[in-house]
Structures are given as C-alpha cells and as structure tokens.
Amino acid sequence: MLLTEIYGIQSLSQKKMDKRLLQFKKALNGIAEVGWQEESTTSYIQKMLKTTPLKRGFGGKNVGLLYKVGKGKKAILLRADIDALKTQAGIKHTCGHSSHTAALMDAFLKRHEVIQKSLKTIYFLFQPAEETYPSGAKAFLDNCQNIMHTVSFAFAAHVRPKLPLGELGLASVVLGRGDYMEIEVHGKMVHVKNTPQGIDALEAAAHIVLFVRKLQKKYKKHLRINIGVASSGLQPNAVPDYAMLKGDIRMKDNKYQSIVKQLLQNKLQELEKTLGVRTNFRYFDGYPPLVNDRKLLREVATYIGKTTSLRPSFNDELFTFGSEDFSFIANTVPSVYVLVGTGDDHDIHEENCTISDKGTEYISTYFTSVIDWWLQQ
C-alpha cells in the first residue's frame, strides 16, 4: 500500500507532478547562478515550496535553504546542490544541479503532508556552492552543528549521463579526496649575459613539474596529481628569480596524502641543495573521499529496487578521481550518495551537457523513495 493511502492523503496525478517537476528544472536553468551568488535560485525555491524555511543563508551569505518537516525525534537529511558553472556560453547547469534541485523540490511537495503526519523528521537542504571554494557543505556544517546531532543518516544523488537511463550506480567509494598545493620558487635575477651567476627559478620549477609527472606514473592506480598553473619571469633577457606553481592532488585513499607530501618536500630540499633556490611549499586539505555507509547503502538500494523502476547496480569501478563536498557531511553521519543514470550524450561539465527530462524524473523517484523508506523504519 502507498504511504499516501496509509495516511489518507490525496495526491496530484502523476502527469501533473511530472509537469511540475519539469517546470522547476526549466525555471532553474533560466536563472542559473554560480556558487555563493545563488540569490535568485534561493528565492525561487522558497517561493515554490510555499513554506517558511528553518534557515536561509549559509557561510555569511543569503543563499541556500534548510527546511525541517515533521516533529519526530529521529531525522534524516536530504541534500541537493543548487549552484551552476561558468561556461563559454554563460552560466549554465552543465553539472546537472538544476535536475538535483528540481527533484528534491518535487519530492518535498509530494511527501510534505505525509511526513507531517508521521513520527519522523526530514531535513531538506538546498545547498549553495558545491562547485566553489569555500565549500557550501562545510559552511552548512559550521552553521548547523546542533542540527546534525539529531540526524541519523544523510542522502544525496548526482546525475551520471554516461550511465544507462534509470540505472542507479552504487559504489563503496564514489569520489576521491581533493587537495590543492602551491609551490613558490625563489632564485636570483641577473641579465642574460651573466646567466652563470644567476639562480634560475624557472629551471627549478621545470624540475618540479617533471617530478610531478613521475609521481603520476608511479602511483597512477591511487592518485591523480598535476600542475595546472605555472608562472615565472618578467622579461626575456633576464634569468627569472621567481616562479609559482599551482596544482591539484586527487586520491582514493587518505594514506597517500602523507606519501605525496613527503616526496614533494624531499624533492624541494634536493633542488634547494643542488640549484641554490629557496622554496615555499603550501599544501591545503580539500574534500575528503566520499565513502558510502555499506550497510545503509544496501538496505536503501534493496528497498528502491523493490518499489521503483530504478535499477540498483553495485559497481566499485564507478569510482572517479573527482571530488564532491557532500563528503564533509558523509564524514559526519552515515550517508548514501548514488549516481543516477540519465542516458545523455554529453558528460557533466561538458559545454553541451543537458539532463533529460526522464533522467530528472528518476532523481525525484530516488529522493521520494528514500523518504518512503525512512517513514517505514
């Protein structure tokens, strides 16, 4: 029996609900905004849900919403990310976040009355700045520590265009750790005619870049590391006395963080000794790996497989070296993060990425079924 029948609630027809969901997605695409600037997006969500949020605004900004539905002592958290990305064609939801947000809005409206009549509580988080530093999830946790003490489990989803439509991709570790580094190199500038008397910061920087490539080859199964920004020199007729390198480090396992740090520090010490440069190495902790709670994952997936048209598929090869700030939440409470197959042609972050309407409906199905699972616990 459906929960709407158990609680005696008359729901909208499926056709009307699907239309509402797709209207949400279309409107969100039309007002797409980058992280920490989602003012119009936040206001639109609040207007459409027609309910006063528990909190509006995180990280000192007036963006993002948290709703509390129900009066039970036991609670779960459902999260959707609301920010978009800058592209050559302007600001667009090329990561599919408009589908995530529309789906959670739809699930909220579908089950609002049911949750209110239950003995459970559900928090609905419309989170800003997933794609932007500082992290919106981290800001939420900093602002709502008292709320998280009441949350038993947390759930989120992400579209995966390259998965077949309707497949629910499940993995133990979904996404990797994402860290950031900066390396400054200081040398001695001289005119080109006096090159032997100079200390070439660019030469040392080149050694570092090549060393990073060696690390990538040696540890390719465990990490991704690369220098993405390199700058040096002021004029062509002088030995440069300064270089700046900036790079990202992604890894599946936290233990490789200390290994990478130590190897880089050893290399810099070697260059200081052999080339006479001075270096400054700054390493910044980013997002931790996104790890699912295995027991919870299997329990919820079994329920979804029995009650919906989604097709749960366990495959640890779905792991990628991308990173995602929901990992901060998953490090706080047992969590499940799934990949919803939308069967689209272009992958996320590609200029032409668009998420199909049917794929968006499947994300709403996922969120709604998690609610139904929780209300029956």
Element spanning 40, H or E: helix 39-49
To the nearest 10 degrees (0 to 180), the angle between helices 14-30 and 357-375 is 120
User: Which residue numbers in the chain have pLDDT < 70?
Assistant: 1-15, 17
Domain ranges for the chain: 3-175+289-375, 178-287
Nearest in space to 303 (alpha carbons), one of 290, 315, 312: 312
Per-residue model confidence (pLDDT) at position 13: 62
Homologous superfamily, domain 3-175+289-375: Zn peptidases (3.40.630.10)
Residues 214, 216, 217, 223: is their CA dihedral positive or negative?
positive
d(CA 158, CA 329): 15
Look at residues 31, 134, 41 and name the one whose alpha carbon lies nearest to residue 81: 41
Q: Name the architecture of domain 178-287.
A: 2-Layer Sandwich (3.30)
| DSSP bridge partners of 178 | 250, 287
Quick check: do 3-175+289-375 and 178-287 share a fold?
Answer: no
DSSP 195: G
Q: What is the pTM of this model?
A: 0.92
